[in-house]
Chains A and B, each alone.
Chain A
Amino acid sequence: MRESRLWAFHLICGAGLLVLLSLHMGLMHYAGILALLGWVREPVLSFPSVVERGRGAAWAVMYVLLLGFALYHGLYGLRGVLGEIWDTPRAARFINAGVVTFGLAVLVYGVAVAVQAARL
Chain B
Amino acid sequence: MAEITGNPEGSVPEGGILTLRVARYDPERDRAARPQEWKVKILPGMTVLDALFAVKEEQDGSLAFRCSCRMGVCGSCGMFINGKPRLACNTQVNELGPVVEVAPLPNHDAIKDLVPDLALTFRRHRAVLPYIIRNDVAEMESPTREFGQTPEELARYVQFSYCLKCSLCLAACPTVSTSEQFLGPQALAQAYRFVADTRDAGLGERAGVVDASHGVFGCHLAGACSEACPKGVDPALGIQLLKRSLFVGPPHRAPAQVVSAFPEGYRTPEAAERPKAPPPSV
Which residues from chain A sit less than 8 Å from chain B, CB to CB? 2-4, 7-8, 80, 83-85, 87-88, 92
Contact = CB atoms under 8 A, between A and B. Distances in A.
Contacts, number: 36
A87 B214 contact: yes
B255 interface: no
Interface of B: 175, 178-182, 207, 211-215, 217-218, 243, 246-247
A71 to B, nearest CB: 19
Contacts of A8: 247
Contact of A84 (B211, B218, B246): B218
In the A-B complex, list the 10 residue pairs whose CB atoms are closest, starting with the nearest.
Answer: A87-B181, A87-B179, A84-B179, A4-B246, A7-B217, A4-B211, A84-B178, A85-B178, A3-B211, A2-B211
B213 A92 contact: yes
Given A8-B247, A80-B218, A84-B218, A3 B178 contact: no
A92 B218 CA distance: 14
Nearest to A2: B211
B182 A4 contact: no
Given A4-B247, A8-B247, A83 B211 contact: no
Contacts of A88: 181
Contact of A80 (B212, B217, B243, B246): B217
A92 B212 CA distance: 12
24 contacts: A2-B211, A3-B211, A3-B212, A3-B213, A3-B215, A3-B217, A4-B207, A4-B211, A4-B246, A4-B247, A7-B217, A8-B247, A80-B218, A83-B179, A84-B175, A84-B179, A84-B182, A85-B178, A85-B179, A87-B179, A87-B180, A87-B181, A87-B182, A88-B181
